[in-house]
Each structure stands twice: as C-alpha cells, then as structure tokens.
Amino acid sequence: MVMDASAKLLKVVPEIYTIWNFRREALAPVFEAGGEPAQKASDTELSLTQACLVENPKSYSTWHHRKWVVLKGMCNLDAELRLVSNALDADERNFHAWNYRQFVVRLMKRPLQEELLYSEDKVAQNFSNYSAWHYRSILLHRLHCAADTTGAEHAGISAQLQGLHVGTGAYASSIPSAAPSDNSTSTNVPSASPAPPPREADASTIHGANASSTHEADASSSTERSQGGALSGGGGPESSGLPSTTGEFLGSATQQVPVPVEVLDEEYDMVHQAFATDSRDQSPWMYYRWLVGNSLAHLEQAKGTEAEVQARTILEAVLARETQRMRVDHLAADPNAKWPLLTLARLREAQGRLGLCAGEGNDTSAAAAAEANSIYERLICLDPLRAGFYKDALEGKAFVVVSALGSGTV
C-alpha cells in the first residue's frame, strides 16, 4: 500500500511535504464521507504524526498535518493538550509545540486563567524558560488589554478554521474576493466547488462533531495529480474580517494599553523570585523590561487627564521600590552584575526623564541621569560585546525601556 510506504518514509524524513499532501488528498474523500472509516483515518493520522513527532519534534509539516486532522473534529482535545504538554516537558523551548498549544487551547476554549497557571508552572520549573515568559505576556495582554479584536488572535489557524481562501488568481482586484469564484477562467488554479458547503460552525462544535467541510477541487490538469485541497467554505464574511488597511502603523501594534497596576505588582514579585534563584538568566530580565514598560505606559496614557497626578504617584513609588531592590537584592552582593546594573541604569534614566526622583530622598533628575550614564560607561567595560549599544545609550540614542511599551516616544 502506498499509504504504508509513505508512513515509513515520513518517520525518517517528515519534511517531505509532498508526501503529506498526497496523504491528505487520499484522505479527503474518506473524511468527507464520514462515519467509521473517517474515525479510523483520524486515529491513524494522529498515531502517525505522533510517531513522527517522537523522531522529529520540530517538523513544520508534521505539526501542520496534525492540525489538519484535528480540524476534522474526530479527536479528543484533552488528549491533544496532554500531547503538547508532554512535548513541552521534553523541550520547553520548542516553539512548534507552543504554537500547537495555542491552537488546541483556542479550539477547546480553555480559560486563559488556566493557561496563566500553566505558564507559572513552567516558569517555576525553570526560570530561564523564555518561551513561558513570552506566553505570559501574550496571556496577560489577552486577559487585560485586548482592545484588539481584529481576529488577529485567530490568524494562526484562520486558514483552516475560518475558511481557507485560495483565490482564482484574478489579482487585478487588490483585495482577495471573500467568496470563491465559481467560474474561474483559469484551468491552472484549483477552483472551489461552485456550491460551497454550509460554513463550519464555531470551534466548540469541532470536538466530537463531524465537522468535515472539505471537498475536492476540480482537477486542474490531466498531467498533475488532482489538487484536491482543504478548501472549506472559502474566506466568508464571518472569517477574521478584513483588517483596517488604512492609517499609520505606530509602535507596538499589538498592545495599546498597559496591564493593570495590581497585576503588574504580582508579576514584579514573580520575576523577583526568578532573580533570587539565578540572576544570570536573561529571560526574566527581558520580561522585567516589559513590566517596566507597562508601568511607564500608565503615566504616559494618563498625561493631560485627571488621572495624571495619581499615575505619577504610583509610578514614582514603583520606580523607587524597584531601584531599591536592584541595589539591595543584587548589586550589594555583586556590584558588577550586568543585568541588575543595566536594569538600574534604565530605571534611573526613567526617573530622570520623568522627574520622578522624590522617592529617592534628595535625589534630582540630573543625579538620576548621571548615575544612568556612569553605569553605561561601566557596562562598556563589563559587557564589551555590546559596547556599541552602550555608547549609543550614553548619548541618549537607545531608548529601550524609557519608551513605554516600546512605542518609541517618551
């Protein structure tokens, strides 16, 4: 059987994407027909991809095929969550697995709070787990700051879940048509069936439902295999929707508002725990920079409003607290430790620029700026690979944390 031979080959060389394509073409009608054979096919493909992933956990093609199978709706999503959790236990930095986790979590509509707990566990297992800290930043944003509902969240799986769009190639129109054309003049491009099936219901019906919505495309030419694909109902209007295509793109497009102050306080505690364990891991320090950016953003966004005074007071206290922690928790014991030094320089730079030094007693903005500069000078010697960066920082040309949320302005 050709399918058996392809399975053998894929376990050794999973990135031969054409072979996965071949399998999908052969299986599409089976899933279309539904019932027992479809369930069996689903089980077989899950088993195959699992075997492949054991050998090659970083294969794009394999993870993608598994998503394709899962979207047929005949699998157990709890089992998928377990599979990806195992993959992350084996390699906590496997971004394919993190990507797959986000896919499964969305399909399951798993509460974000539970994912936040998961990321906390991963961070507690290993504080230098940059992937887990990154995931936290995504989750916190979604939980607290998600003003953006452009559907970008779904972009990662929109092609399958919300309707894969493969156009007819009529590129004269600048925006791809939302519905597939049913009288393509080109024989070279797979065209969707003239009568697209009813749109797949939302994600919650996928589990356990026969959500098969694929159909064969017309054969494109007699010299090629039928290019039957995963063409579901086409990019219908209820897909992620056309994003705003006008206007300027400024700064951190994904995050417009900061994480709430109380939440930030908890996050600061978490990173300080990480620092206490091993302050040389850069991951928590990089996450920390983002926290400070959020803190600064509260003031930035309150400027000119009646909330400004309170925002200044809160930020002043945060900056005073954090500079103190850098000095006492870290620099007292190791005055040349790069990360606490760099962080202190940035905190002092922020205090200086924003005139928030009252918490430091008789300190002035000038003194804060001077201390920041003297630290950058020392870092040129302590961290010489990045001398070019520190020199620019000395000249005020490297706003990294002073720019709240990375928006590039103070």
Partner 1 sequence: MAGQVSKPSTDVPPLLAEKHAEYVRSFSKIWESTDKIEFVATEHFWMSGMYWGLSAMALLGRLEDMDLQAIVPWVLSCQHSNGGFGGSSRNDPHMLYTLSAVQILALCDQLDLVDADKVANYVASLQQPNGSFVGDQWGEVDTRFTYCALLCLSVIGRTSAIDVNAAVHFIAQCKNFDGGFGCTPGNESHAGQVFTCIGSLSLTDKLQVVDRDLFCWWLCERQTSSGGLNGRPEKLQDVCYSWWCMSCLSILGRLHWIDQKALTNFILSCQDDEDGGISDRPDDMADIYHTFFGIAGLSLMGYPDLKAIDPTWALPCEVVARIKARNTPA
Q: How far is the CB of 77 from partner 1 (least distance, A)?
A: 18
Stretch that binds partner 1, among 187-195, 299-307, 314-322, 329-337 (CB under 8 A): 187-195
Does 147 help bind partner 1 (rule: CB under 8 A)? no
SS3 for 72?
A: coil
CA 127 from chain centre, in angstroms, equals 19
Largest CA distance in the chain: 84
Which of 132/357 has CB closer to partner 1?
A: 132
Does 335 help bind partner 1 (rule: CB under 8 A)? no
Q: How far is the CB of 52 from partner 1 (least distance, A)?
A: 14
Structure-block tokens of residue 9: 């080959």
CA 98 from chain centre, in angstroms, equals 8
SS3 for 52?
A: helix
Does 2 help bind partner 1 (rule: CB under 8 A)? no
CA distances from residue 231 to 28, 34, 116, 215, 236 in whole angstroms, order as listed:
10, 17, 34, 7, 12
Q: Which residues, 6+ apart, have CB-to-CB distance to 94 below 8 Å?
A: 57, 58, 87, 88
Which of 251/359 has CB closer to partner 1?
A: 251
Which of 140/320 has CB closer to partner 1?
A: 140
Q: How far is the CB of 198 from partner 1 (least distance, A)?
A: 19
Does 362 help bind partner 1 (rule: CB under 8 A)? no
Does 254 help bind partner 1 (rule: CB under 8 A)? yes
Question: In this chain, which of 6, 56, 59, 239 binds partner 1, going by CB under 8 A?
Answer: 239
What mask of x and - would describe binding to partner 1 in positions 41 to 60, judged by CB under 8 A?
-------------------x
Asked if residues 326 and 273 have their Cβ atoms less than 8 Å apart, the reply is: no
Backbone angles phi, psi at 93, to 5 degrees: -105, 10
| Cα(92)–Cα(135) distance, integer angstroms | 12
Asked if residues 46 and 69 have their Cβ atoms less than 8 Å apart, the reply is: yes
Question: In this chain, which of 69, 157, 320, 357 binds partner 1, going by CB under 8 A?
Answer: 157
| Cα(317)–Cα(333) distance, integer angstroms | 24
Does 246 help bind partner 1 (rule: CB under 8 A)? yes
Stretch that binds partner 1, among 75-83, 174-182, 314-322, 349-357 (CB under 8 A): 174-182
- Which residues, numbered 74-113, are part of the site for partner 1 (CB under 8 A)? 93, 95, 98-99, 102
Buried b (16+ CB within 10 A) or exposed e, 371-386: bbbebbebbbeebeee
CA 319 from chain centre, in angstroms, equals 29
Does 197 help bind partner 1 (rule: CB under 8 A)? no
Does 219 help bind partner 1 (rule: CB under 8 A)? no
CA distances from residue 61 to 27, 44, 398 in whole angstroms, order as listed:
16, 16, 40
Which of 6/320 has CB closer to partner 1?
A: 6
Q: How far is the CB of 266 from partner 1 (least distance, A)?
A: 16
Which of 320/402 has CB closer to partner 1?
A: 402
- Which residues, numbered 267-296, are part of the site for partner 1 (CB under 8 A)? 280-283, 286-287, 289-290
Q: How far is the CB of 396 from partner 1 (least distance, A)?
A: 11
- Which residues, numbered 111-140, are part of the site for partner 1 (CB under 8 A)? 128, 130-131, 134-135, 137-138
Closest CA to 349 of 325, 319, 384, 314: 319
Closest CA to 22 of 72, 58, 65, 51: 65
Does 384 help bind partner 1 (rule: CB under 8 A)? yes
Question: In this chain, which of 153, 216, 329, 377 binds partner 1, going by CB under 8 A?
Answer: 153
Q: How far is the CB of 27 from partner 1 (least distance, A)?
A: 12
| Cα(11)–Cα(20) distance, integer angstroms | 11
Does 343 help bind partner 1 (rule: CB under 8 A)? no
Which of 16/367 has CB closer to partner 1?
A: 16
SS3 for 366?
A: helix
> What is the DSSP annotation of 258-288?
PPPHHHHHHHHHHHHHHHHH-TT-HHHHHHH
Question: In this chain, which of 33, 152, 201, 328 binds partner 1, going by CB under 8 A?
Answer: 152
Q: How far is the CB of 271 from partner 1 (least distance, A)?
A: 13
